[in-house]
A and B are shown apart, each in its own frame.
Chain A
Amino acid sequence: MRFGLYRKIVHSLILMMLGMPALSAEDRPLALQIDEMIAAKFEGQIPAPGSDDAEFLRRICLDLSGRIPTADETRRFLDNPTVDKRAQMVDQLLAAPTYAQRMQELFHVVLMERRGDNDKWTNYLRTAFEQNKHWDQIVRELLFPDAEDESRRGAGFFYSKRLEAYGQNPTDYPGLTRDVGRLFLGSDLQCAQCHNHLFIDDYKQHDFQGLYSVYLNLSIKSGLEFPAVTEKPMQKKLEFVSVFDSTQRETGPRIPFATEFAIPEQSKEGPAVSVLALLADEFPTQGDTLFAKNIANRLWFVMMGRGLVHPLDLHHSGNPPSHPELLDLLASEFAAHQYDIKWMLRELALTQTYQRSSRFPVTLVDTTGAAAGASTEVNTAQISPECYVLFNEKRMLAEQLLHSTLQATGNLDRLQQPAADGKPNPELVELTARYVAPFANEAREPEDQISPTVKGALFTLNDETLLQLLSRQPGNLIDRLITMTDEQLLADELYLSVFTRKPTDAECKELLAWLAQNGDGREKAIGLWAWSMLTSMEFVVNH
């Protein structure tokens, strides 16, 4: 039955061969090889300079801990003379408890696409990242959420939520099949449900139907205190017809792009043999190298703001990667490191590509003549996101935006204290719901680009939430600022807290003039200025 071992060996050999050029080209760090491959395709464009320390710190904190740093953390980092302080910061953030929280929030959104949430699921993801469970293991658990195994049964939410009817739709088995292809193989097989894909030669109808045949036997198991599904034993192959030629075909269980496997014989005595378990076990080692490429591409996207294959779920020969050899390298190296997500994120964070600035410097042309102060700017409209000469600005998840807002306004420490019963602070839970409503996409829509909305604008303009965070409370940002008498220190504290950088001279002057104008309404004046910073692009975007 377990014919998978042989396949695994062959698969590892293929991956090793893919990785050969890299291995033979001495043991240079992966980060260096990545940067070379990216630079090879600049095609004459001059890349933006490296980020400064403040820009880097804000970015890496958002990516690895899901929030901006405090003003004090920023000061310490800026003042730290150590040469490799960036690498140290990366390691520190990967080791901090905030890492697992950030990954839980990130992968919750990636895997559930705002369908809903569940405590057991949250705990499952959190624990998985606390233990640095590797991606192949996580996927095996998602695809076979063994209800007998307490440590992994929270993963059942991935299936059970998708099997719920919503609106007038019956159980969406095709949708579940599609999602498994999209999320774990980067392949949207939706059109291949009814016929071989018209425009994507790689997507065949049997790839869809083979996986679908497994899921048709799945249903929600209710009445438990954790999310779970049950599986009927598979009796026979699934028959299907192409809507084009009406030929009758059939397939047994199949991982997309791999060969069909035999329906296991069920013995009358022993426990039922689970097709789902077989599928889950084999899944990471099959389907060409798409399993590795999909997750390498998704992690690349998380860090670099643009997939090497983009959209993320359209890996096929008609939509080639912007840097094919780089994706091969990332996939094979990632597989060679047993899909260790932490390792991968660290490698990506150490590249120049990641540490590049999101802005071009502006050259002042003439400081004396008629055009005093005029400047030339690189025309950024001409720069495509897949060339990485400029760091791609990234959308913040509603959770990142909330945590950063709480951090900036000095409310995070208080709200992160768990309630007496050990559960998350109910105020934080409430705030999260309030932020998800205007800033998250609707259910089933991937959140893969910056998308300002009127709803979000009306929320920041008029909702109580943000204004309350900006009202004076002991120890919060406004409280700290109001008690400061040295105005330069006040400006530093405000800009370090919100923008994770010191103010420029011009900004200082403006702020001081503003405060002077509003001498007797200081709290209000500071509040308005801080509001404008918190709702501006520099704050709401990860840049």
Chain B
Amino acid sequence: MGTDMSQRKLCKPWEHRSSRRQLLGTMAAGGLGLRSFLQPSVADELAKNDKQVLLIWLDGGMSQLESWDPKPNTEFGGPFRAIPTSVPGINVCELLQHTAKQMHHLAVLRSVCTQDNSHSAGVARINRGDPKNRGVEYPFLGSAVAKLLGPTSSGMPPYVWIKPYSGGFKASDAGFLGAKYGALALGDGKPPDNLLLNKSISAEENELRNELRQKFNERYAIGRRKEWTEANSYVYELAKKLMERGDLFDESSFTDKDRERYGTHELGRYLLLARRTLETGVRFVKVNSYHWDSHGDNFNACDSLIRQFDQPFAALIEDLHDRSMLNNVLVIVMSEFGRTPKINSHVGRDHWPEAWSIAMAGAGIKRGVVVGKTNDQGTFVDSQPHDIGDLFHTWFKAMGVSEGLMQYDNHGQPLPVAHDDCSPISELLA
């Protein structure tokens, strides 16, 4: 009992193939691949789209004044200097000393003006692109992209989230799209549970049992609604791809030079893992960093936090460029809001959605530009203000999502992907 089939004659590869055909019959052929999930015309369009996204989410609110929009020597400017960058005429805060050298790859929007100054509402609002309320819970950007563009040709899960604390499968980002568009979360960069094939099952047995399962499913779907069976096949396909790429999670395979350049701190490790995750073909990678809510001691906090961001971010932009990936990968750096120009009695800055900055780079985005400006004190936007809805339109356009795809079908209810009254910011688009 318990014979290991991989040791037996049956499972030599050539015999295995023929016996499988015999056993599974004609129904086993093909199966529901990832692409069958989509309508053919859409699938064709998407097959050509290999754009990827990296979203760096600095939770709590990064200070624009200590980063992308410095106002040195003004009433609210704080103690840090502005320094020149690789693009003549554009200055950033001195805490971004490494990023400054990569400015020719970046675009910064300094005229962001959004709606909410509480974390609880702001985080969801910005992540969802603040679409018009239609009585449904909209997806976060990563789930939206997972739905609209699906996995890349790599077949890897479309949405991976690298974050501190717990991992697992986080469905909450998906909103009305449903759990299968949720994020596969790598808690502290660690692999998900049950990633390795159980020791008691050989690779051949695993293939056989999955073909049987798939065959049973196809039979089950006859005469029934297809959507659940397709959703089920989809998650098993993703699981299979993940199991094949278990090496993704082997931190020991990074070089010492990489570690030195990115840093061994949390955000450094996560951004290095993000680079590899993008290299394996994951469509959308989100990296979270927490504790940016500097209501007290803002300047010491920024001296630490922004430097923790600056070093690995600059290394990542450099690497993506060197690997010819920057044309293909859209990189976004944002928070739920910026921070008040006014410095409070705890030497902190509070929440400020009125005038802040979002930085981006890569696919479809103009290089080496600053768009929009704030007034001299940095208190309000002093050019055309842009809400997050405009940015969502901009990013979808940069990703090559065509007009025809800019609408969800929620069981018959058509829902615009981004806010109806907003539009792409042409100055940011390449």
Contact = CB atoms under 8 A, between A and B. Distances in A.
B2 A467 contact: no
Contact of B216 (A198, A514, A537): A537
Nearest to B168: A455
Contact of A453 (B10, B180, B195, B201): B180
B54 to A, nearest CB: 20
Interface string A284-313: 000000000000000000000000000000
Interface stretch (A226-234, A340-348, A516-524): A516-524
Interface in B168-220: 168-172, 178-180, 182, 184, 192-198, 200-201, 205-206, 208-210, 212-213, 216-217, 219-220
A463 B239 CA distance: 13
Contacts of A521: 3, 5, 8
Contacts, number: 168
Given A384-B411, A451-B178, A467-B200, A461 B243 contact: yes
Contact of B242 (A377, A454, A464, A532): A454
A537 B221 contact: yes
- Among A198, A319, A450, A459, chain B packs the most CB atoms within 10 A around the CB of A450
B236 interface: yes
B252 interface: no
B131 interface: no
A457 B197 CA distance: 12
Interface in A499-535: 510, 513-514, 517-518, 520-524, 528-529, 531-533, 535
A250 B136 CA distance: 30
A384 to B, nearest CB: 7
Interface in A337-383: 358-362, 375, 377-378, 380-381, 383
Interface string A117-156: 0000000000000000000000000000000000000000
- Among A377, A450, A461, A521, chain B packs the most CB atoms within 10 A around the CB of A461
Interface string B1-42: 111010010100000000100111100000000000000000
A358 to B, nearest CB: 6
Contacts of A424: none
A528 B208 contact: yes
A501 to B, nearest CB: 12
B253 interface: no
Which interface class (under 10, 10 to 19, 20 to 34, 35 or more) fits A?
A: 35 or more
Given A450-B231, A537-B229, A361 B2 contact: no
B2 A523 contact: yes
Which interface class (under 10, 10 to 19, 20 to 34, 35 or more) fits B?
A: 35 or more
- Among B157, B195, B228, B243, chain A packs the most CB atoms within 10 A around the CB of B228
B238 interface: yes
- Among A380, A517, A522, A532, chain B packs the most CB atoms within 10 A around the CB of A532
A378 to B, nearest CB: 7
Given A532-B209, A538-B216, A450 B194 contact: no
B135 interface: yes
B323 interface: no
Contacts of A378: 223
B79 interface: no
A473 interface: no
A441 interface: yes
Nearest to A534: B213
Contacts of A73: none
A452 interface: yes
Contacts of A445: 171-172
Contacts of A383: 225
Contacts of B83: none
A521 B4 CA distance: 8
Interface of B: 1-3, 5, 8, 10, 19, 22-25, 133, 135, 157, 168-172, 178-180, 182, 184, 192-198, 200-201, 205-206, 208-210, 212-213, 216-217, 219-229, 231-232, 234-236, 238-239, 242-243, 411-412
Given A360-B223, A452-B235, 7 more contacts: A200-B135, A314-B135, A380-B226, A453-B169, A461-B197, A537-B216, A543-B224
28 contacts: A199-B135, A318-B135, A358-B224, A359-B222, A361-B223, A380-B226, A393-B228, A445-B172, A451-B179, A455-B193, A457-B239, A458-B239, A459-B193, A461-B243, A462-B196, A463-B193, A510-B23, A510-B25, A517-B10, A521-B5, A522-B1, A523-B1, A524-B1, A531-B213, A532-B209, A536-B217, A538-B219, A543-B224
The 6 nearest A-B residue pairs measured at CB: A451-B179, A532-B212, A455-B169, A359-B223, A536-B216, A457-B239
